Structure 1
Amino acid sequence: MFLKERQNAIANMVKSNGRVAVADLAEQFAVTVDCIRKDLRQLESQGALKRVYGGAISITETPERTVYKRFSTNTAEKQAVAAKAYDLIAPGDIIFLDISTTNLELARLLATGHKRCIVVSNMMDSLQVMAENPALTVMCPGGNVSLDLNGFVGTLTIANLKPITFDKSFIGAIGIDLLTGEVSTFEMDDGMVKHTVLENTDQVYLMADSHKFDSRGNYNFASLSEFEGLITEAVTTKQKKALAKFDIELI
């Protein structure tokens, strides 16, 4: 099979199946793993797919940019991540929850719990949920309102967050690149808020269900090594091996 024929076949497989694995493709086409990786790099440059750790995914599988459209996706996984995060919060903590549908699940746990702590969030949905619990001191940093994110971002948000030292922060992401360790989101303004909080928090945790390993945003706001821990509900043996090269605790 010629190079172009193989690449066309790979592109069609991604389009039909949603994703492909490098090892499987190498075996199927009787070529080396490096050869398949070169194919995927070229196909990605042509806009035919997105490379992820161990393979590639269809561009059509890119997550929704608008937050409310992600509320009902992977709910069980997000709740499992949120439950682990909730156990890390101690009474008296000053914590930050960023704009994240997984953090919304954590906000719901805080809203029904009995932990007395100060919670700062730039996500309107989380603020509304937590405000119902008198045990919580709920604060909003303000800023420019993003309709897609239903939250606050921009220079005013960043300026109001910078003076605060958080005990723990819980940060969401659109995608995690297990090859480079880059953690991404869609909006630059959103990413800048996340990175600001990273710099003034004692313990920062990345909230990511396992689907985030097969996804990628447009703006890289951090590296895995900048986080205290990665909170997820499940990882494969291959993913765990990839994460081992980064200085991050798997929770």
Structure 2
Amino acid sequence: MFMEERLEKILEIIQDKKKVLVKDLSEKFNVSESMIRKDLQRLEKEGKIKRTYGGAILERGRAYNENTTSRVFVNIEGKEHIAKVVCDILEEEDVIFLDISSTNLTIASMIRNTTKNITVITNMNRILMEFDYSPNIEVISVGGTFNKRLGGTVGAYTVEQIKHFNIDKAFVGAGGVNIEENFLSNFNFDESIVKKEILKNSKKNYIVMDDEKFYKDGAHKFGTLEDVDYIITDKAPDDTVKVELEKYDVKVIY
């Protein structure tokens, strides 16, 4: 096998498994471990992977500030799966917070048909509209500066209002969850401040996100894994991710 072909195969394996060991790659391709280390060094220089002790991981991606509404149509099946999980979690008389998130919009469209009496607090205008015909669901709108790109309210006034709520369960979207460096991140500064305040004022915190967010980072941090009780995702994460989350007592639901 030519070197370029081996490099391509190694990258495919890392993209699939997210993490590899030099020893395993050496056995798979029947070449020396020193040769594999050189391969990994080259892939790292190209910005495709990040070398670790004894192996390599996929280079983390960057979460970008896309229009929230447009993201609703990305991974629809995954978002619907997450929404079904949330429906099962809700209890009678729950007070929940759904923040600005394309996943939360999908959640809102599904829980609007629940027969449970719940209160929904949100700072996303599209979520408010989902409950027009849900008599058993009380809806509270959080004011503030309306950000058209995000489709919701953010800023100091929004943060101040959230301080006065007693939230049972908060469902918060994230641009990325970094288990190696222990931080939650997003792509908008004002929105990140709001997310941080939501986590502070909720009894149970759920991060709702696609599995790919375990491998991306946003520009702005809004919390750590110590702030989170559960992560609800669209599929079973990699075993390495599960092991790391257990260290922080964060349970994964999928």
**TM-score > 0.5 by shorter chain:** yes
2:60 touches 2:215 (CA, 8 Å); kept in 1? no
Change in CA separation of 1:127 and 1:24 when aligned onto 2, cut-off 3 Å: same
| Aligned structure 1 segments of 4 or more residues deviating by more than 3 angstroms | 16-22, 24-40, 48-54, 61-64
1:64 touches 1:70 (CA, 8 Å); kept in 2? no
Map of 1:206 onto structure 2: 207
Map of 1:238 onto structure 2: 240
Q: CA deviation at 1:116?
A: 1.2
Q: CA deviation at 1:159?
A: 0.9
Q: CA deviation at 1:30?
A: 3.7
In the alignment, the residues of structure 1 paired with residue 249 and residue 35 of structure 2 have an alpha-carbon distance, to the nearest angstrom, of 30
In the alignment, the residues of structure 2 paired with residue 157 and residue 232 of structure 1 have an alpha-carbon distance, to the nearest angstrom, of 27
Q: CA deviation at 1:50?
A: 7.8
1:50 touches 1:56 (CA, 8 Å); kept in 2? yes
Map of 2:250 onto structure 1: 248
In the alignment, the residues of structure 1 paired with residue 113 and residue 38 of structure 2 have an alpha-carbon distance, to the nearest angstrom, of 53
Change in CA separation of 1:241 and 1:86 when aligned onto 2, cut-off 3 Å: same
Q: Which runs of 5+ in 2 are unaligned?
A: 27-31
Q: CA deviation at 1:38?
A: 7.8
In the alignment, the residues of structure 2 paired with residue 37 and residue 145 of structure 1 have an alpha-carbon distance, to the nearest angstrom, of 46
1:174 touches 1:217 (CA, 8 Å); kept in 2? yes
Q: CA deviation at 1:90?
A: 1.1
1:23 matched to 2:20: yes
**What is the correspondence of 1:6-155 to structure 2 with a 5 Å cutoff?**
19=15, 21=18, 23=20, 27=25, 30-31=33-34, 43=45, 48=47, 55-57=57-59, 62-63=63-64, 65-155=66-156
In the alignment, the residues of structure 1 paired with residue 95 and residue 118 of structure 2 have an alpha-carbon distance, to the nearest angstrom, of 6
- Percent identity among equivalent residues? 25
Number of aligned residue pairs: 238
Spell out, residue by residue over 1:108-164, the C-alpha distance to the aligned partner (whole angstroms, 9 max, x if none): 122122121111101111111123311111111111111111111001111111111
Query: Highest Rg: 1 or 2?
Result: 2
One-letter identity of the residue aligned with 1:211 = E
One-letter identity of the residue aligned with 1:227 = V
One-letter identity of the residue aligned with 2:20 = A
Aligned-residue Cα RMSD (Å) equals: 3.4
In the alignment, the residues of structure 2 paired with residue 117 and residue 134 of structure 1 have an alpha-carbon distance, to the nearest angstrom, of 10
In the alignment, the residues of structure 2 paired with residue 202 and residue 32 of structure 1 have an alpha-carbon distance, to the nearest angstrom, of 51
Change in CA separation of 1:214 and 1:58 when aligned onto 2, cut-off 3 Å: closer
1:94 touches 1:118 (CA, 8 Å); kept in 2? yes
1:173 touches 1:185 (CA, 8 Å); kept in 2? yes
Spell out, residue by residue over 1:166-215, the C-alpha distance to the aligned partner (whole angstroms, 9 max, x if none): 01111110111121221111001111111101111111111122121122
In the alignment, the residues of structure 2 paired with residue 65 and residue 32 of structure 1 have an alpha-carbon distance, to the nearest angstrom, of 41
1:63 touches 1:215 (CA, 8 Å); kept in 2? no
